[in-house]
Structure 1
Amino acid sequence: MTGFVIRQLGPADAAAYREIRLEGLERHPEAFGSTYEAEAALSPEEFVRRVVEVPTFAAERDGRLLGLVGLARESGVKRRHRGTLIRMYVRPEARGSGAADALVEAVLDHARSEGLDAVLLAVITEAEPARRLYERHGFKVYGVEPGALRIGDRAYDDELRIRFL
């Protein structure tokens, strides 16, 4: 699959954003700190607020969002030089197409344009394709948070990574 474009989402994209976000939470609950149930209960206005407050990029083809990623900038005066890559998800039909790579590059480009000097992320240690993706883009491991996420009685460790710009 080729022919996708990468673009920043705006308020008019909130419904499409909600759809793909909920799909990601439903298919891969271990990959996100939030849950399908919690986000399905959010109002449409909350999804508008999210795409306005957190720069969110999407891979899109023929009007369909294939993947998304956000960049949450730290708000404190002493931490505003860093951002965190969040809410990364690529639909199964777009995996292997280069969409994930293009989304990560969009976040890094945006971070540079905003004057950030580093982008951080957390990825579960079992998510080998995601770990390889971030490795390709220069994200280095700086720690592991044991049991960072828990689903039922199953714990997942988060690998903490940073990419200096």
Structure 2
Amino acid sequence: MDGPSDHLVIRTATAADEAVLADLDRRTWSPLHAVQPEPLPPYRPFFDGRHRPEEFLVAEAGGRVAGFIRLVRPTELDCHAHVRQIQGLAVDGWARGRGAARALLRAAAARARREGAVRLTLRVLGHNAPARRLYESEGFAVEGVLPGEFRLAGRDVDDVLMGRRLDGGGDGW
């Protein structure tokens, strides 16, 4: 992402992105952020009834997929319709440190606003300091911690709940 041909473009995923996003998801798997075991063949489909292409935003630079983010309603409850949740963010190694994750987060926030959301939430593992710093720099604050919620590689890891307002309002409701 160094020259004019590498301008970052954010778009909605399509079914045709299945293979490239599945490959990116597998290659970026890490115990730093994953609660699922490392993916091994035979691989599950990337898109399915619970993970639809329209839920994903894709970042491209120079014709290459740089990363993706998944944005969904946390539940189908009407009383929860004002919230969107990030449930997955991955950036390819060649695109890290070049603003792709930040661009995806901002695009997700913009989409959430267009959909009428006033809150954006996510969950991040307590030991994932780089991701937590990025989220904090984009206005997310820690709203709760589930201590030792996951046991990963024999170690208890906190589940950190983070959120931010999208409507410019204060912290109070």
Which interval holds the TM-score relative to the shorter structure? 0.7 to 0.9
Contact map agreement 2:56 2:71 (CA 8 A) in 1: yes
Percent identity over paired residues = 34
Task: Check whether the contact 1:30–1:151 (CA below 8 A) recurs between aligned residues.
Answer: no
Does 2:11 align with 1:7? yes
Tell me the residue number matched to 1:69. 69
CA distance 1:144–1:39, change in 2 (3 Å) = farther
Query: Quick one: distance in 2 between partners of 1:39 and 1:102?
Result: 32
CA distance in 1, matches of 2:66, 2:124: 20
Task: Indicate the SS of the match to 2:80.
Answer: coil
* TM-score, length basis structure 2: 0.82
Inter-CA distance 51–62: structure 2 relative to 1 (3 Å threshold): farther
Q: Does 1:41 align with 2:35?
A: no
> How far does residue 19 in structure 1 lie from its aligned partner after superposition?
0.8
How many residue pairs align between the two structures?
160
Contact kept in structure 2, 1:15 and 1:47, CA below 8 Å = no
Q: Aligned equivalents of 2:124 and 2:94: distance in 1?
A: 21
Contact 2:69–2:89 (8 Å) recurs in 1: yes
Gaps in structure 2 of 5+ consecutive residues = 167-173
The farther-off stretch of 137-146 and 56-65 is 56-65
The CA deviation at 1:127 is 1.7
Q: Name structure 1 gaps, 5 residues minimum.
A: none
CA contact (8 A) 1:11 1:48 kept: no
Alignment CA distance shift 1:164-1:51 (3 Å): same
Q: Kindly tell me: are residues 24 and 149 of structure 1, through their superposed partners in 2, closer, same or farther at Cα, counting changes over 3 Å?
A: farther
1:58 is paired with a residue whose SS is strand
Letter in 1 for 2:132: R
User: Larger Rg: 1 or 2?
Assistant: 2
Shift of 1:48: 5.4
- Corresponding position: 1:20 with 2:21: no
CA distance in 2 between partners of 1:109 and 1:14 (Å): 24
CA contact (8 A) 1:30 1:149 kept: no
Moved more, 9-18 or 31-40: 31-40
Cα distance between partner residues in 2 of 1:36 and 1:75: 29
Structure 1 runs, 4 residues or longer, greater than 4 Å off = none
Shift in Å, 1:152: 3.2
Q: Distance in 2 between matches of 1:32 and 1:58?
A: 20
| Cα pair 2:35 2:152 within 8 Å, conserved | no
Conserved? CA contact 1:8–1:57, under 8 Å: yes
Distance 1:68 1:132 in 2: 19
When normalised by structure 1's length, the TM-score is: 0.86
| Residue aligning to 2:94 | 93
How far apart, CA to CA, are the structure 1 residues paired with 2:57 and 2:79?
Answer: 26
* Structure 1 residue 39 displacement after superposition: 8.7
CA offsets 1:116-139 (integer angstroms, 9 cap, x no match): 111111112222221111111111
